[in-house]
Amino acid sequence: MENNSPALPPKQTVKLRINGAEKQLELAPWTSLLDALREHLNLTGTKKGCDHGQCGACTVLVDGRRINSCLTLAMMQEDKEITTVEGLAKDGELHPVQQAFINHDAFQCGYCTPGQICSVIGLVNEGKAKTLDDIRDLMSGNICRCGAYVNIVKVVQEALERSETR
Amino acid sequence: MKNEQIGKATSRVDGRAKVTGEAKYAAEFNVPDLTYGFVVSSAIARGKIKSIDTSKALAVNGVLQVFTHENRPGYVWGDEKYQDKDSPPGSPFRPLYQSEIQFSMQPIALVVAETFELARYGASLVEVAYKQDAFDTNFEANIEKAYVPEKYKSTPPPDPRGKPEKAFADAALQIETEYTHPSEHHNPMEMHASVAVWEKDGKLTVYDKIQGVDNSQQYIANAFGMDKEEVRVISPFVGGAFGSGLRPQYQLFLAVLAARELKRSVKVMLTRQQMFSFGHRPKTTQRLAVGAAEDGKLEAIQHDAFAETSKFEDYSENVITWPGVLYKCDNMKLSHKLVGLDVYTPLDMRAPGGTTGIFALECTMDELAYKAGVDPVEFRLKNYSEKDQNQDKPFSSKELKECYRQGAEKFGWSKRNPEPRSMKEGHNLIGWGMAHGAWEATQKEASAKAVLSPDGKLTVSSATADIGTGTYTVMTQIAADTLGLPLQDVTFLLGDTSLPKSPLEGGSWTVSSVGSAVKAACDKVREKLFKLAQQVENSPLKDAKFEEVRFTDGKISLQQDASKAVTITAALKQNGGESIEEQVDSKPADKQDNYAPYTHAATFVEVKVDEDLGTVKVTRIVSAIAGGRVINPKTARSQILGGMVWGIGVALEEEAVMDNNLGRFMNHDLDKYHVPVNADVHDMEVIFVEEKDDIVNPLGAKGLGEIGIVSVAPAIVNAIFHATGKRVRELPVTLDKLL
């Protein structure tokens, strides 16, 4: 075919380890981790809220650290342990942070929720949050337009207490 | 016997789906052989497309087609074909209809490709040459050209009462103010998206982000000349909307157009930037002239609004009706004029009109209370309205006094020193302010179906939506309560045009409207069940009357003697193995016509203003709400908390800034359009005061989606005055206005 558009780089084989399972994909190199999850693996639990790292809806855990999956290419995340909201419940039992979101009604529409949940788990792993203000600051990368912040903070407090007693 | 599910703080029934990622939103239906559409947006605000060159995009392998006004198929383009259930009067925008550009970021092409990345890349290769025309986006410059629309979308301003001009001139205390509220964008976390699934027989299944699937179905059927039966619209979860999903947005039209032309399934999701290219809360300037006696008793109110609209539709909302609802005053004159600009038509945004109007009204009344030297709560008690004077109807119920009392007590209002700048903590000035508000408690016509299967499981359905409001949960509660079933035996279905008709999900009327329909359908099932229970062999209820039994714990029993009971499953056995199925169309009772139903709120706020930096922190908010019977205190509290967070955004952060050189909102992303984040939110408390209302609807519940926001922004602005002595009359109160 005659083609006067710039040549596009060929698709590449990308191996991702997601929620404990190896996934092999043929991806164009410009595919973000977020789009790889949502459009290629049908893991739509991870949400697209801006595609620019401004809202946090796409937060996932990579090797236990929370990142915006819209700001990284899928092929940059090979050989890492990626956890999405779909990988948190074990044998049908919710992760305590998931359960706490339900108990505290820490969401309304639910669209930012998977990102918030991953962010809470990442925040606990970081071990930096000591005060209420710390929690509020360190959760401010995840926008909740429904305004469930008061309840989200309760979830974080509970998660921090749990991690201390562990 | 108290009912057992209504009034219970139940966790959301869809909670598990939402915390596991199983809940599917519009863009998440990844059907086989899906293609992706990406919208090209106009770079100019007004003019014509001279030429549009799509050849480079089409040359990309994997790009299937680029739809523009030049190659789109011929449809019937009459205005009425594009009007939807929430259209204001005028000529609706028709995507790809013509070369004319009516507003900045108007969709001018859809690139469809095999992958999202290719569609996005293709869109970047579309080359457009424009003929630019002069445009008008400058609100201030056009305010004196404001006009009275031929027809209002909102309630037309009521006729003047009394002698407002004379009463104002004669008043001992006079105050004239001008308050301005900027354009704001809804920005739900989920961008608007549609997946149009091309079915083998040429029919369409469409997954759409919408606050009422019936609206999308009607729009598609009209615009594309299809039968409604050929289009099924599904929307089980909506990632927030706040009004942005009341009207079908242009991605729906474009996805359907592409699917029909390509005979393929097409997904179109807008970008966050494109979320600033359609409806928004209109910029509005309000002028108030209020007169009062020495003691603060109101004698005259004049309230004039000047609100933004587009050049093609006359959008209006109830901005100036609130003085007639909230304050007793015999001399009143209210007007609402429109300022036509080259922008997209504004759109209802959470408490449309109320948020804007109550802000200006309540700040003005705070100014007047200061002038009269009367405490703001005292001032409101002095001018308490016992009826909606606009309609001359008594309230169906109004426990606003109790809101003042309980709110003030919780907040500690009695310890307030009214003197501005009287409270300090280090370099922070502390301010306490309050405001009150109201919102309509409307009931609309709605239908619902209840199916009780032989195993005792109940499925209730209506084509409404749950935009985070808790519809799934409260409808499940209402149904379970009516039939005395445990929650887990009840399923509520929504968001599907194959279900019974429902009004748009908005206006705080869903519980009232759909809830009443759900109750009515279940009441019919109840009657049938009772008759069946009487037919059970040796039924202890054989001689009982319907009024003498109750439905609890899966049993029908005598109210006087619970041991005389028949289980629901036993009664169902009398139905020959068949389900009981009842569908009802419910509508408001005639007696409502004689009353004005409203929810009310009183909000008390503490702010800390850094004197050196001008930064404002809202450290405490207490809102007391009179909203009738609360179906679910847990989800209800969340709705009010959400409204309070929105109030912080309105007061301090949100503003879509128009660049009048480009005719475009320049801060069109979540980096520069600020919405409240976790760090902006501190202590918040919600009080529901008891309020009995037998008129508003059979449930006595008033709806809580909007009452939470209306009184928060003015209470914050009033608190800022108390802290600083500065009266800011233009929202948002950013630090530059305080320095």
Predicted pLDDT of residue B356: 98
DSSP codes of every residue in B17-84: HHHHT-SPBGGG---TTEEEEEEEE-SSSSEEEEEEE-HHHHTSTTEEEEE-TTTSPP----GGGT--
Q: Is the pLDDT of residue B3 over 80?
A: no
Predicted pLDDT of residue B76: 79
pLDDT tens digits, B98-113? 999 999 999 999 999 9
Shortest alpha-carbon distance between residue B216 and chain A (Å)? 20
Predicted pLDDT of residue B511: 96
Classify B444-587 by CATH class. Answer: alpha beta
CA torsion B277-B507-B155-B95 (nearest 10°) is: 30
- pTM, 2 dp: 0.97
pLDDT tens digits, B585-610? 999 999 999 999 999 999 999 999 99
Angle at the Cα of B512 from the Cα atoms of B507 and B515, rounded to 5 degrees: 125
CB B603 within 8 A of CB B434: yes
Average pLDDT of span B544-560: 95
Tell me whether strands B107-113 and B63-67 are parallel, antiparallel or unpaired: antiparallel
Which of A136, A150, A151, A157 to substitute to test the interface with B, most B CBs within 10 Å? Answer: A150
Tell me whether strands B332-341 and B387-388 are parallel, antiparallel or unpaired: unpaired
CB B262 within 8 A of CB B65: yes
Predicted pLDDT of residue B77: 84
Predicted pLDDT of residue B664: 97
Q: Is the pLDDT of residue B169 over 60?
A: yes
Cis link prior to A9 (omega < 30° from 0)?
no
Instruction: Choose the closest CB to B679 out of A89, A137, A151.
Output: A137
Tell me whether strands B100-101 and B47-53 are parallel, antiparallel or unpaired: antiparallel
d(CA B104, CA B341): 11
Shortest alpha-carbon distance between residue A101 and chain B (Å)? 7
- Name residues 99-128 of chain A within 8 A of B (Cβ): 99, 101-103, 105, 107-114, 117
For residue A21, the SS3 value is strand
Instruction: Choose the closest CB to A49 out of B56, B189, B642.
Output: B189
Predicted pLDDT of residue B709: 98
pLDDT tens digits, B344-388? 999 999 999 999 999 999 999 999 999 999 999 999 999 999 999
d(CA B605, CA B620): 6
Residues of A in contact with B21 (CB under 8 A): 43-46, 84-86, 114
Average pLDDT of span B59-80: 93
- Going from the C-alpha of B374 to that of each of A64, B222, B294, B369, the distances in angstroms are 58, 57, 10, 5
Query: What is the token pair recorded at B174?
Result: 């006079």
In B140-192, DSSP assigns E strands to 173-181
Domain ranges within chain A, ordered by starting residue: 12-87, 96-165
Predicted pLDDT of residue A6: 63
B419 part of the active site: no
Residues of B in contact with A135 (CB under 8 A): 678
Tell me whether strands A65-68 and A59-62 are parallel, antiparallel or unpaired: antiparallel
Q: Tell me the pLDDT band of B75, cut-offs 50, 70 and 90.
A: confident
The CATH superfamily holding the domain A96-165 is [2Fe-2S]-binding domain (1.10.150.120)
Predicted pLDDT of residue A2: 45
**Identity (one letter) of the amino acid at B142?**
N
Q: How does the average pLDDT of chain B come out, rounded? A: 97
Q: Would B26-134+188-271 and B444-587 be classified into the same CATH topology?
A: yes
**Residue B590 CB burial class (10 angstroms; 0-12, 13-18, ≥19):** exposed
Instruction: Choose the closest CB to B271 out of A51, A135, A142.
Output: A51
Q: Tell me the pLDDT band of B644, cut-offs 50, 70 and 90.
A: very high
Average pLDDT of span B249-273: 98
A37 in reach of chain B (CB within 8 A): no
β-strand partners of B65: B112
What is the architecture, at CATH level 2, of domain B26-134+188-271? 2-Layer Sandwich (3.30)
Cross-chain Cβ contact A43/B641 below 8 Å: no
pLDDT tens digits, B676-735? 999 999 999 999 999 999 999 999 999 999 999 999 999 999 999 999 999 999 999 999
Tell me yes or no: is domain B280-442+593-737 CATH 3.30.365.10.
yes
Predicted pLDDT of residue A5: 57
Cross-chain Cβ contact B19/A107 below 8 Å: yes
Cross-chain Cβ contact B676/A43 below 8 Å: no
Q: Is the pLDDT of residue B91 over 90?
A: yes
Query: What is the token pair recorded at B589?
Result: 């009772």
The residues, any chain, with a CB within 8 Å of residue A39's CB and separated by 6 or more, are B30, B36, B115, B116
Which of B61, B678, B685 to substitute to test the interface with A, most A CBs within 10 Å? Answer: B678
Q: How does the average pLDDT of chain A come out, rounded? A: 95
Q: Is the pLDDT of residue A1 over 50?
A: no
Q: What's the CATH code, domain A12-87? A: 3.10.20.30
CB B713 within 8 A of CB B359: yes
Query: What is the token pair recorded at B479?
Result: 């149904």
- Going from the C-alpha of B319 to that of each of B142, B144, B153, B290, B413, the distances in angstroms are 19, 18, 12, 16, 29
Domain ranges within chain B, ordered by starting residue: 26-134+188-271, 280-442+593-737, 444-587
pLDDT tens digits, A84-112? 999 999 999 999 999 999 999 999 999 99
Instruction: Choose the closest CB to B670 out of A39, A55, A103.
Output: A55
Look at residues B713, B88, B89, B716 and name the one whose alpha carbon lies nearest to residue B356.
B713
CA torsion B414-B420-B422-B426 (nearest 10°) is: 120
Residue A75: DSSP 8-state: G
d(CA B732, CA B718): 13
- Going from the C-alpha of B583 to that of each of A156, B447, B471, B518, B661, the distances in angstroms are 44, 7, 19, 9, 56
